[in-house]
């Protein structure tokens, strides 16, 4: 599992690196970008080559030069041994979990995990006889007390979906590895540029490329990057399940990679400005953003992340529903929608109380999740300011 070799590869992918990884212009007549290879059938020139099974490409589902270019780039950025692209971030979650579990296993999943991940555990993994136990994301080294002889994996997501609790991944990974338990990390919030869970001790990193990698809300894509010990399990599971990304989506992932660094700088800056502005508003009870120095997860964020992206939440003071509706319905720059990571700003109300089981989510009022897009931040603030005026008028 997490071994020294994997750790020495870890580094912050530089703005320069992401421009050059996964590209070989002179293999494509000098054209700057790796082209979209579309294909199912791959021809073998001779009977000998067919029988030798030595061609780099054998079948469309098993990879194309476009897929391999993005996989290799992502492997280098994450400091891993291998990457598998998937058709969505959620498929990366399900494929990675299925790669390790079998009937009779027990798995530990953070209570603040992406909600569909819970559905997969509670419905499909349960049906095949895998027992899921949800744990407090703040448990740290205390995870050791929950590990049983049949515990197969610990799943972390830091910061947590919707509520942004930071997890102590190194402490959890150390405790898990002492008992030969795999560590899987959903790193979608930070992206491979702002956190490297493999270097923190995880064996497998799951990412929704749909979010910041693609970055334009125009494609679904996922990827799983693993260390050397985990890579063969992921490869086998993905191959057996027939997991493969679309050709165009893969190209959009490669294209997004080139501008990921500059986009994240802006998402981070605008996200922090909005978070600070909201924190000072009388309508807001709390802001949940680990890059704010006042956030309970700030020290862990500072230790483990190289930056913050544009997604954070707030808890409002109680307001009547019509006032909330007046605030949200009149916004002109913030859209209401679930997926995020594109260039546009978003806001969505949420409530974790119905499904959290290991911890209690007790907000003082309505919780809202914001995504800071690439618009001018002063325009975004003006839009929210007008929203609060409508809120008071309707209260
Ligand atoms: C969005 C998201 C996913 C799923 O990604 P899709 O591409 O939408 O399937 C998984 N994990 C996290 C944390 C996410 O935010």
pLDDT tens-digit map of 161-170 = 999 999 999 9
Task: Give whole-number Cα distances, 27 to 17, 24, 34, 214, 233, in Å.
Answer: 19, 6, 9, 24, 31
DSSP 128: T
- Select from 164, 167, 188 the residue to mutate for testing ligand 1; criterion: most ligand atoms less than 8 Å from CB: 188
Q: Is 220 in the pocket of ligand 1 (CB under 6 A)?
A: yes
**Is 70 exceeded by the pLDDT of residue 37?**
yes
- The encoded tokens of residue 26 equal 């002179």
Q: Which of 38, 61, 126, 178 is catalytic?
A: 61
Is 263 in the active site?
no
Which atom of ligand 1 is found nearest the CA of 88?
7
Which atom of ligand 1 is found nearest the CA of 209?
7
Predicted local confidence at residue 5, as pLDDT: 39
Cβ contacts of residue 67 below 8 Å, gap of 6+?
37, 85, 244, 245, 250
pLDDT band at 6 (very low <50, low <70, confident <90, very high): very low
Q: Are 187 and 178 in contact (CB under 8 A)?
A: no
pLDDT band at 14 (very low <50, low <70, confident <90, very high): confident
90 Cα to the center of ligand 1, angstroms: 5
Is 114 in the active site?
yes
pLDDT digits (tens, 9 = 90+) for 134-157: 999 999 999 999 999 999 999 999
**Is 70 exceeded by the pLDDT of residue 363?**
yes
Predicted local confidence at residue 9, as pLDDT: 37
Predicted local confidence at residue 12, as pLDDT: 52
Secondary structure class of 17 (helix, strand, coil): helix
Burial class of residue 193 in the structure, from the number of CB atoms within 10 Å of its CB (0-12 exposed, 13-18 middle, 19+ buried): buried
Q: Which of 37, 90, 114, 155 is catalytic?
A: 114
β-bridge partners, 316: 284
* Alpha carbon distance 170, 89 (integer Å): 24
pLDDT band at 126 (very low <50, low <70, confident <90, very high): very high
**Is 90 exceeded by the pLDDT of residue 25?**
yes
Q: Which of 68, 84, 118, 211 is catalytic?
A: 211
pLDDT band at 202 (very low <50, low <70, confident <90, very high): very high
Q: Is 186 in the pocket of ligand 1 (CB under 6 A)?
A: yes
Cβ contacts of residue 316 below 8 Å, gap of 6+?
283, 284, 285, 324, 364, 365, 366, 367, 368
User: What is the chain's mean pLDDT, rounded?
Assistant: 95
Cβ contacts of residue 170 below 8 Å, gap of 6+?
200, 201, 304
Q: Is 212 in the pocket of ligand 1 (CB under 6 A)?
A: no
Is 61 in the active site?
yes
| Average pLDDT rounded to a whole number, residues 343-362 | 97
Lowest mean pLDDT across 2-6, 100-104, 123-127, 203-207:
2-6
117 Cα to the center of ligand 1, angstroms: 9
Lowest mean pLDDT across 13-17, 102-106, 208-212, 370-374:
13-17
Kindly tell me the sign of the dihedral angle through the C-alpha atoms of 98, 99, 103, 104. Answer: negative
Q: Whose CA is nearest to atom 7 of ligand 1?
A: 89
CA atoms within 13 A on the CB side of 176: 29
**Is 90 exceeded by the pLDDT of residue 1?**
no
β-bridge partners, 367: 315, 350
């Amino acid at each position: 599992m997490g071994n020294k070799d994997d750790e020495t590869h870890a580094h912050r992918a530089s703005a320069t690196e992401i421009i050059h990884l996964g590209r070989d212009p002179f293999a494509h007549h000098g054209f700057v970008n790796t082209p979209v290879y579309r294909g199912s059938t791959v021809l073998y020139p001779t009977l000998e080559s067919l029988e030798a099974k030595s061609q780099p490409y054998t079948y469309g589902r098993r990879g194309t030069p476009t897929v391999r270019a993005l996989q290799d780039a992502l492997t280098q950025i994450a400091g891993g041994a291998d990457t598998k692209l998937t058709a969505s971030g959620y498929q990366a979650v399900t494929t990675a979990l299925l790669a390790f579990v079998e009937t009779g296993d027990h798995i530990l999943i953070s209570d603040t995990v992406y909600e569909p991940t819970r559905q997969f555990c509670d419905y499909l993994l349960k049906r095949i006889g895998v027992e899921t136990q949800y744990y407090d994301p703040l448990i740290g080294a205390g995870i050791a007390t929950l590990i049983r002889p049949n515990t197969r994996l610990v799943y972390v997501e830091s910061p947590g979906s919707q509520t942004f609790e930071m997890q102590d991944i190194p402490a959890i990974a150390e405790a898990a590895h002492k008992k030969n338990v795999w560590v899987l990390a959903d790193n979608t919030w930070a992206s491979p540029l702002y956190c490297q869970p493999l270097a923190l001790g995880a064996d497998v990193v799951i990412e929704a490329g749909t979010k910041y990698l693609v970055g334009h809300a125009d494609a679904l894509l996922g990827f799983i990057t693993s260390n050397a010990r985990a890579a063969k399990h992921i490869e086998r599971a993905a191959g057996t399940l027939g997991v493969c990304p679309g050709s165009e989506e893969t190209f959009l992932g490669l294209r997004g990679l080139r501008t990921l660094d500059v986009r994240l700088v802006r998402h981070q800056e605008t996200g922090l400005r909005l978070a600070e502005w909201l924190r000072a508003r009388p309508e807001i009870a709390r802001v949940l953003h680990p890059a704010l120095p006042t956030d309970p997860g700030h020290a862990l964020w500072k230790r483990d992340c190289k930056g913050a992206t544009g997604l954070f939440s707030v808890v409002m003071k109680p307001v009547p529903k019509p006032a909330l509706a007046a605030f949200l319905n009149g916004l002109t720059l913030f859209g209401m929608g679930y997926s995020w990571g594109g260039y546009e700003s978003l806001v969505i109300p949420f409530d974790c109380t119905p499904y959290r089981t290991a911890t209690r989510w007790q907000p003082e009022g309505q919780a809202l999740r914001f995504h800071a897009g690439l618009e001018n931040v002063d325009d975004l603030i003006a839009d929210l300011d007008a929203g609060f005026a409508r809120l008071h008028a309707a209260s």
